[in-house]
Homo-oligomer: A and B are copies of this chain.
């Protein structure tokens, strides 16, 4: 079994309105030292396979075709063995 731990994040140049809303809420709640909040997706995909090369290939296809919007988001991932 392999597990892909995937982070899908808005590109740094893209405004994160959800993050901005959280920052504003935190300021209203009194957390004045917060300067920025960025909200991303963290996705764990488990594969019933031990073939790392083939699984890496699949993870990249999955990210490019389903999980990340290439116009506004970037992704990175690590692959770990699971028992």
When the two chains form the complex, which single residue of B46, B62, B66 contacts A36, counting CB atoms closer than 8 Å? Answer: B46
Question: With A and B bound together, what is the CA distance between A37 and B58 in angstroms?
Answer: 14
Q: How many copies does the complex hold?
A: 2
Quick check: A33 and B7 within 8 Å, CB to CB? no
Q: Using known A-B contacts A22-B66, A25-B66, A26-B66, determine if residue A38 contacts B43 with beta carbons closer than 8 Å.
A: yes
When the two chains form the complex, which single residue of B22, B43, B62 contacts A31, counting CB atoms closer than 8 Å? Answer: B62
Quick check: B44 and A40 within 8 Å, CB to CB? yes
Quick check: B33 and A48 within 8 Å, CB to CB? yes
The reply on A34 being an interface residue by CB < 8 A is: yes
Which residues of chain A (9-31) have a CB below 8 Å from chain B? 9, 19, 22, 25-26, 29, 31
